[in-house]
Amino acid sequence: MSASFTSLIYTYIGFPLLAIVVLNLIGKKHMEKFCAPIGCAVGVVQAVTSVITMLLLLQYNKAAVNFSQFWDMSVSTEAAYFSVDAISAIVLFCIGMVTAASFLTAAGMREEKMFNYTNVMLILVLGMSGIALVTDLFSLYVFLEITGIASFVLIALHRDIIGLEGSFKYLVMSAVASAFILAGLSFIYMETGSLRYDAVAEMLAGNTAAEPMLIWLAFLFLIAGFSIKSGIVPFHGWLPDAYQSAPAPVSVVLGGIVTKMAGVYAIIRIMSDFLLGTYSVINLAFMLLGLLSIVMGALAAIAQGDFKRILAYSSISQIGYIVLGASTGSMIGLIGAVLHFFNHATFKTTLFVNSAAVERQTGTTEIERLGGLQKQMPVTGVSSVLAFLSTAGIPPLAGFWSKLLIIIAAWQAGGPLIAGIALVASILTAAYFLRLQRKVFFGPVEEHLSTVKEARGGIAVSAVALSAVTVVVGLLFPVLLQILQAQGLL
């Protein structure tokens, strides 16, 4: 058993590293055309491995499994180590899935700087996998920075003015966030003397802090820092600019997973490992921030004129739902948050892939210049409708179930008003997506678009595959939920 578990670490951390080394040893000249398959393989292998991890956890009935491959755990109790539990496994699956989709999109878009893109993407995957695996706050910070730096480079990949501007905004805001997070970590370290999740949790649960004020300050900074990283209103300013200015395959991975890993995953970790049921003010703070994000994101999305910008604001709104679910501090809310995380990775990636298809085939993402593409681009149109129905929470698609759990949890924790606002915002979701669908896909064809064809290759494949995930997971959701609950994993 331990052997099978231990080998997992090689696929999560080792495989991307190995790919980078191989690519650069052989060199750009020979490897340029193998970049997309290799990147895709990394993503698929990671997704498959995470499924295997999940099955192993189920089989051996364990809540989590720890690795100490690089550090000897027996030397010091303070040593850092990796660990995979159910939440990590789901998140790792999302990373693999979105990575594969991003590489397929890059192949479909005939990315010019494929070699550079692949290298940085693999570092990004490494960083995100690290975030999912670590068990102490400082390692978390290190991998956050790796993820962040890789993202800045990717956004500015083409070195055009728009990309550089978006990248710069993200960089500046991330620097502020890093400062906040580091400050928060240092305050916690002053109290605890350790940044391991279990040590911090023990200190918080026992309420043994010598200076409670420090803990409050620490959380104040952590909340602000992670909020900037996840793009929660009012810390969200950089997010739409960065998403819009990034090249298509990069916005797929940014919108699908990066900001979620960098911010929301940490918030879920904090709520699930440290704060289940205690420190109600922090719960309240996250709840208010989540609601604000839901409503503001949805309202702002309605007026946008760019396909990708609408998706960006939609991301803000959906991140709000995840934070709202996590903020309830209840089991059902956390399950809802994690599953919405997964669903969001699925449907938002689908939509970004669709926007890439539209951009590739028509040369624009401005919705006023698009129209009636449904006939010419049936795959894109249908997968986009499925994804938007899932986002809006229409049964039986996957998005419905996670949103339902979140709203139930919100009702239990915050009363009908909170749940009602979250519910009404769903209508806004439907409103901005209907507008998007109508302007881009429905109605008569614009004259200058009459020769447009469906995008082929990687883009279509990933759109179909992701739509299939949305539908299948939606249909099997009750079963999955029962399995997870029966094993006590969530």
Partner 1 sequence: MNGISAFLTVGSGMNLLYVMILLPFVLALLCLAIPKQSYAAKAGVFVLAVVANLIFAFGVFRAPDATMLIPWAGFEINLALRIYDFSRFIVIAAAIIVFLVGLYSVSFLRRKEYAGQFFFYYLLTLALANGAFLANNFVVMLFFWEGLLVSLFGMLVLVNKDNVRTAVKAIVLSGTADLLLMLGIAMTCMHAGTMMMDAVNDLSVSGIGAVGFLCMLAGAIGKAGSMPFHSWIPDAANDAPLPFMALLPAALEKMLGIYLLTRIVLDFYDLQPGSTMSLVVMIIGAVTLFFAVSMALIQKDMKRLLSFHAISQVGYMILGIGTALPVGIVGGLFHMVNNALYKCCLFLSAGAIERATGTTDLKRVGGLGKMMPLTGLCFIIAALSIAGVPPFNGFFSKELVFDAAIESHTVFYVIAVVGAFMTAASFLKLGHAAFFGPTKLPDDVKKEDVREAPAAMLLPMVVLAAACVVFGVWNRLPLDMIQPLLGDTLAGQDFAGWPHSMTLVLISLAVLLLAIINHIIGYRMTGEGIKAVDHIHYAPGLRQLYHCAEQHYFDPFDILMVFVRIYAWLCYCIDRAINWIYDVLLVRLTSFFSQSLKNFNTGDVAGYMVRSFIGLAFLVLLFVLLI
- 188 is an interface residue for partner 1 by CB under 8 A: no
Which DSSP letter does residue 367 get?
G
- 220 is an interface residue for partner 1 by CB under 8 A: yes
Single out the residue of 193, 234, 415, 478 in contact with partner 1 (rule: CB under 8 A). Answer: 234
Residue with smaller CB distance to partner 1, 15 or 235 = 235
How near is the Cβ of 243 to partner 1 at its closest, in Å?
12
Would you list the DSSP string of 189-206? HHHHS--BHHHHHHHHHH
Residue with smaller CB distance to partner 1, 176 or 276 = 176
Residue with smaller CB distance to partner 1, 227 or 361 = 227
- 445 is an interface residue for partner 1 by CB under 8 A: no
How near is the Cβ of 143 to partner 1 at its closest, in Å?
23
Residue with smaller CB distance to partner 1, 297 or 325 = 297
Distance separating alpha carbons of residues 355 and 414, to the nearest angstrom: 36
Using the rule CB under 8 A, give the single segment among 301-309, 379-387, 413-421, 453-461 that binds partner 1: 301-309
Count of residues near partner 1 by CB under 8 A: 32
Distance separating alpha carbons of residues 176 and 156, to the nearest angstrom: 20
Q: 251-290: which residues touch partner 1 (CB under 8 A)?
A: 281, 284-285, 288
Q: Are 332 and 409 in contact (CB under 8 A)?
A: yes
Distance separating alpha carbons of residues 355 and 94, to the nearest angstrom: 20
Supply φ then ψ for residue 445, to 5 degrees.
-75, 135
SS3 assignment, position 306: strand
Closest listed residue to residue 5, CA positions, set 91, 90, 84, 74: 84
- 240 is an interface residue for partner 1 by CB under 8 A: yes
- 235 is an interface residue for partner 1 by CB under 8 A: yes
The alpha carbon of residue 91 and the mean position of all alpha carbons in its chain are separated, in whole angstroms, by 8
SS3 assignment, position 414: helix
Site string for partner 1, 98-137 (x = CB under 8 A): ----------------------------------------
H or E element: which one contains 84?
strand 82-85
Question: Tokens 């998005």 — which residue?
Answer: 399
Binding site for partner 1 (CB under 8 A): 165, 168-169, 172-173, 176, 180, 216, 220, 223-224, 227-228, 234-235, 237-238, 240-241, 281, 284-285, 288, 296, 299-304, 428, 431
